[in-house]
Amino acid sequence: MILKKMRLFLLTTLVILLFSLFYPIPVSSQDSSHKKISIRGFDGSPLTLESKIPYSPKKTCGDCHDYHPISNAYHFQQGRTNGAGKIVISDTFDSKYPWNLSSGMYGKYLAGSMDLSLLAKKVNRNPSEIDKSSFSFVQNCGPCHPGGGWSEYDRKGRPYYDEESKKFGYESSEESHLLDGDYAPYRDSKEDVGAPWDQSGVSEADCLICHLKGYQWKERGDALQRKFFKYGPSVGAGWATAEISKDNMGNSKVDTIIIDYTNKKVADFENLNLQIVRKPPDENCWSCHAVADGWRKGRQWSPETDVHKAKGFQCLSCHPSDKEHNFAKGSTIQQTVREDLSHTMFSC
């Protein structure tokens, strides 16, 4: 009798295993307990499949999650603030090397960088002192940064441009914005016209750049470089495409960004909660952390090229994150942002 029950148990187990092999439960439903997500616009109102405006990560994800403590993590701030959230970037940050305005990429001169330009000081005496404004920083460096922090707020803590009030951050001050490193005229624009934050919008902290598999990192970068900052998250999620034309010289230019929330190629507007991943996939980390041109030169995070990956390690295995999204880090001579967190990563 006992033997017969054991045989029945083994047979039942085998049937269940075979069924799960041929009819697997989608991974998203196995590891996702995220509640339904209401995609919202910059004014906080819910969007629909028919909406034609970009969504706001802050209004969408920030509806439940602590947006400001999370976006104070060093990945978002890069020296603009310290661990307590205090703005520490300053025109007088480093008396020995006065060109350094902070300890992170936003403000510190990196000799080994491909971009040898300097972030302009907040206060300048004449236009010749201004090299790269905050606007140019978002446009050119934003593709490898997740938004938020210096991509969203100026060095006094004000949003560069508020979509609801339709006002620039400098409008709350009587100081001229034309020599302000955050609002200075954009390159060849007229001297009396500041950086066009009202046209570009700000680049909010984009949660999906880490928490969505298949995120369109390159396409988002293209949108930022073409000054469509507020559209970046929508493009990355696959909900927006660029409308391209040719200028008089035959060069491609982006005229506008077309929103289409019915596109499910990357993210499903109505079922995004089933696609959210709690732990960022290695591929998402590698999009930004690969050495420039790394994919073509063989510097790949794969079992064939990296001993850690071959042993089953993930980026988070050695670089876990705390609740405020500060990842455990090592220490290098040049990368000095948040040195209070140096040597917190796991080591062999």
State the pLDDT at residue 111.
Answer: 79
Residue 247: CA count within 13 A, CB half-sphere: 6
State the pLDDT at residue 137.
Answer: 94
Closest to 275 in 3D by CA, of 213, 217, 209, 207? 213
CB 196 within 8 A of CB 183: no
- The three-point CA angle 226-112-217 to 5° equals 35
State the pLDDT at residue 204.
Answer: 98
State the pLDDT at residue 168.
Answer: 96
State the pLDDT at residue 39.
Answer: 98
How far apart, in whole angstroms, are the C-alpha atoms of residue 20 and residue 244?
46
How far apart, in whole angstroms, are the C-alpha atoms of residue 197 and residue 186?
10
State the pLDDT at residue 347.
Answer: 87
10-residue stretch averages of pLDDT, the chain, 348 residues long = 50 43 38 85 97 98 96 98 97 97 94 83 93 94 95 98 95 87 74 86 98 95 94 98 76 81 98 95 89 54 83 93 95 89 92
Q: Say what the pTM is.
A: 0.84
State the pLDDT at residue 254.
Answer: 66
State the pLDDT at residue 112.
Answer: 72
Burial class (CB within 10 angstroms; exposed 0-12, middle 13-18, buried 19+) of 168: buried
Structure token pair of residue 19: 């069924």
φ/ψ (deg, to 5) at 321? -115, 150
State the pLDDT at residue 186.
Answer: 64
How far apart, in whole angstroms, are the C-alpha atoms of residue 182 and residue 328?
30
Whole-Å CA distances, 277 to 169, 196, 234, 315: 35, 35, 18, 15
State the pLDDT at residue 187.
Answer: 59
State the pLDDT at residue 17.
Answer: 43
**β-strand pairing of 240-246 with 161-162:** unpaired
State the pLDDT at residue 176.
Answer: 82
